Chain A
Amino acid sequence: MKRLIINKIALSLSVLSALIGLVFLAWILVTLFSKGINSLSFSLFTQDLINGGLRNLIFGQFLMALIATIIGVPLGMMAGIYLREYGHGKYANIIRDLSDIMMSAPSIIIGSFVFVLIVEPFGSINGWAGSIALTIMLIPIVVSTTDNMLSLVPKELREAGIALGGGKHQVILSIILKAARVGLMTGILLGFARIIGETAPLLFTSGTNSFWTTDLNNAFPSLTVSIYNLANFPTDKARDLAWAASFILTMIVLFINIVGRFFTRDKG
């Protein structure tokens, strides 16, 4: 009897804590939606920050994340291919471990590294520095995805490819990557969703910019950095804009996540 009572109490505590957690998280989402939708208007997408819109910020954030993806995905994938297909020794294991650590390293540290590496020599904050900071964040994510997804490809496929007379690189490029493409796509999408929401690595690398610009050599518009500035600005108008921006950012991140998960579920 005592056992059953203890069981009841423990399980109730567990359910209760789950409820508390979910209530907090629901509260955040509800706030975000109600504040965000109220502040949302069409002109946000046609005006730049200087005129009270978000157009340049959304564009800037996307562009920097896109450049990071274009640079980071091939590098990360090649590194992942090395780890899974070529390196079987100690060296590959060390790289794998370090990449794992880098994936969780504080993003503000990446920002200060890029500050020394690019911003200081260059003389001012600029869009390239922001993109590079995001690239450094993305690479370990792509490495780990590639490494994991390639490990799921059955050995028989590799053997069959080699039996057909293909070189190892041909087998990798035309058979293995194809077999793993759904998982790789998902991983890259989730990685993109992760870096597009980053603020800390952009604060003193790209900064932000109120005006429309496509010049990556200047301070570059960033949605997240502007949210930080706007939220600390003591007017209601700025705060509403910050909520609208947060709402749009969250929608983008959640959308990409859901699309990514949909792909993997499709496969089984």
Chain B
Amino acid sequence: MNRESIFKKVAFSSATLILVMLASIFVMLFISAKPAMQEYGWHFLVDSSWGKTIEVKSDKPLATQKSTTKKTINDENLFANEDSAIIPLSDGGIEDSGQPKNTITKIIYGGFIPIIGTILSTLIAMAFAVPIAMGISIFLSEIAPKFLIKPVGLAIELLAAIPSIIYGMWGLFYFAPIVQDIFGGDQISLLTAGLVLGIMILPFMAAITRDAMNTTPSVLKESAYSLGATKFEVVKDVIFPYAKVGIIGSVILSLGRALGETMAVAFLIGSVFKIPGSLTNPTISIPVVLANNFGEASGNMMSALFYLAFVLFVFSFIIIGTAKFYFLRKHR
């Protein structure tokens, strides 16, 4: 084999590695989540109990129950089903039918609260960030005097590079008390988490929205100005229609970012499994559940965590994919 074909093969394999990585993320998460998927099914997505102990009455005799449990363990050897135990009722004795009565205590895990927490915190973040990001990008593309465009643009880009953990820490110590003063409720809450998340994605969203707006050819803008259009009319009737697809794509891409963000939210959302009664109550989101519980989880809980990870992965894949392919498709 000559060098040329070796080089080409190495390049091809490296490109294929991307496909392999993405496919194995999908498969590995799916396999790890499978025990929870079998145990809880689709109901997992709407079940709001996490770590709740329930007793399941069983009509089957003890012996049969044991053997089926064993069978499931063998089937799901990745995560042994150690959360459920069979406790025969001591006072139950023998029933009329002559069958021994028994119950199983089970700890059930449902993903509803983190799913809702993720969706709500992302929505708050978007409600805060979209108008401001639009303002910044309109400012940068049409209003700002020339000497401001570069430094402000650079500042926005640098801010987008600051690690999200910094935003989270600032939010916890400086922003949360102020939010509490204004809105009442708890310092650590869905609202604070959503707002800090919004502040975090703001520079990213502003930078890519500005890039989308800047694709408008200046000939179009100039001809509108020469017809006597005001700046606002140029933005509304020329830039927005022209760059609409790119702007929507940028917003959706930022939404994908916000959905999977861990650190900016982890400090602020409160990490309690509770449906927030109001915006100022604490709750939890999927990335934060993963961040806080992965280390010490096992058995069904571990599998439930992977179920959540799988849900998050599929959702962000769809959202980011939509943004990139439908709205931000590059010309090749």
Contact = CB atoms under 8 A, between A and B. Distances in A.
B172 interface: yes
Interface string A1-35: 00110110011011111101110110111011000
Given A15-B143, A112-B305, 19 more contacts: A14-B139, A22-B155, A25-B203, A32-B166, A86-B11, A98-B19, A102-B21, A105-B320, A106-B312, A112-B309, A113-B24, A167-B4, A169-B8, A194-B161, A197-B162, A197-B163, A204-B294, A224-B163, A231-B267
A199 interface: yes
Contact of B163 (A85, A207, A239, A249): A249
Contacts of A102: 18, 21-22
A236 to B, nearest CB: 11
A7 B25 CA distance: 50
Interface in B252-289: 253, 256-257, 259-263, 266-267, 287
Contacts of B136: 17-18, 21-22
Contacts of B15: 78-79, 82-83, 87, 92, 95, 143
A13 B287 CA distance: 34
Tell me whether chain B's interface is mostly helix, strand or loop, or mixed. Answer: helix
A250 interface: yes
B161 A253 contact: yes
Interface of B: 3-4, 7-8, 10-19, 21-22, 24-25, 28-29, 31-32, 131-136, 138-140, 143, 152, 154-159, 161-170, 172-174, 199, 202-203, 206, 230-233, 235-236, 253, 256-257, 259-263, 266-267, 287, 290-291, 294-295, 305-306, 309, 312-313, 316-317, 320-321, 324-325, 332
A227 B266 CA distance: 13
A210 interface: no
Interface in A88-119: 92-95, 97-102, 104-113, 115-117
B232 A18 contact: no
Nearest to A205: B294
Given A3-B230, A101-B321, A257-B158, A106 B261 contact: yes
Given A31-B174, A109-B25, A204-B295, A99 B18 contact: yes
A242 interface: yes
Given A22-B152, A98-B22, A106-B260, A200 B287 contact: yes
A228 B165 contact: yes
Contact of B260 (A21, A29, A107): A107
Contacts of B173: 31, 231, 239
25 contacts: A6-B230, A7-B231, A7-B232, A11-B231, A17-B131, A18-B140, A22-B136, A25-B155, A25-B202, A29-B159, A31-B173, A78-B11, A82-B14, A86-B8, A98-B19, A99-B18, A106-B260, A108-B291, A109-B260, A193-B161, A224-B165, A228-B165, A231-B173, A243-B169, A258-B158
Interface string A156-176: 000000000001110010000
B163 to A, nearest CB: 3
B165 A101 contact: no
A113 B161 contact: no
B131 to A, nearest CB: 6
Contacts of A100: 320, 324
B6 to A, nearest CB: 8
Contacts of A99: 18
Tell me whether chain A's interface is mostly helix, strand or loop, or mixed. Answer: helix
A29 B316 CA distance: 30
A140 interface: yes
A14 B17 CA distance: 45
A198 interface: yes
Contacts of B154: 261
